[in-house]
Amino acid sequence: MMRIIGLVFLFSFLFFISCGTKSNTVVEKTFHVWGNNDICKKSIEKASKLNGVSDVNWNLDSKLLVFKIDTTVITTDAVLKSVASAGFDNELFYGNDYAYSNLPEACQYERRDN
C-alpha cells in the first residue's frame, strides 16, 4: 500500500513540475536593415534594444540585424517598427521620413522605393 501511495505521489510531483515549466519563448531573429556605417550601427542597435530584446547586433557588411526576442514580452514587428521610427528601412517597414532626414549625412543611404 505504501508503495502505491509513493508511486502516486511521485507521478503527481513529476506532473506538476512538468506543467510549471515554461517552454522556450526566446528566439533569435534576423532581418535586413539598411545603413552605412558605425554611426548607423549604434542607432539601429539602440532602437532595437527594447524590453524583451537581447543580444542585439547589426552587421555593417551584411546589413543584417540579429537579436534575441522573448515572444511573451514583445513582437518582432514592434522591434522593426522601432528601427523604422529611427529612420532605418528594413525588410518589413519603411523608415520614418522625418527621422531619416535628420540622420547624419553619412547615415543617409540610398533608399528603396515604397
Q: What is the pTM of this model?
A: 0.77
- Count the neighbouring beta carbons within 10 Å of the beta carbon of residue 7: 10
Q: Residue 99 belongs to a domain with what CATH number?
A: 3.30.70.100
Tell me 35's DSSP state: -
Residue 113 falls within a domain, yes or no?
Answer: no
pLDDT in tens, 73-99: 999 999 999 999 999 999 999 999 999
CB 43 within 8 A of CB 77: no
Query: How confident is the model over 38-56, as pLDDT tens digits?
Result: 999 999 999 999 999 999 9
Q: What is the pLDDT of residue 21?
A: 47
Task: Indicate whether 76 belongs to any domain.
Answer: yes
Does the residue 43 lie in any domain?
yes
Helix axes 76-85 and 38-48, enclosed angle (nearest 10)? 140
DSSP 3-state of 114 = coil
Residue 96 structural domain: 24-107
- Look at residue 19 and tell me if it is in a domain: no
45 lies in some domain: yes
Q: Where are the alpha helices (DSSP H) in 1-114?
A: 2-20, 38-48, 76-85, 97-101
Cell of 55: 543580444
The total number of structural domains in the chain stands at 1
Q: Is residue 15 part of a domain?
A: no
For residue 14, being part of any structural domain is answered with no
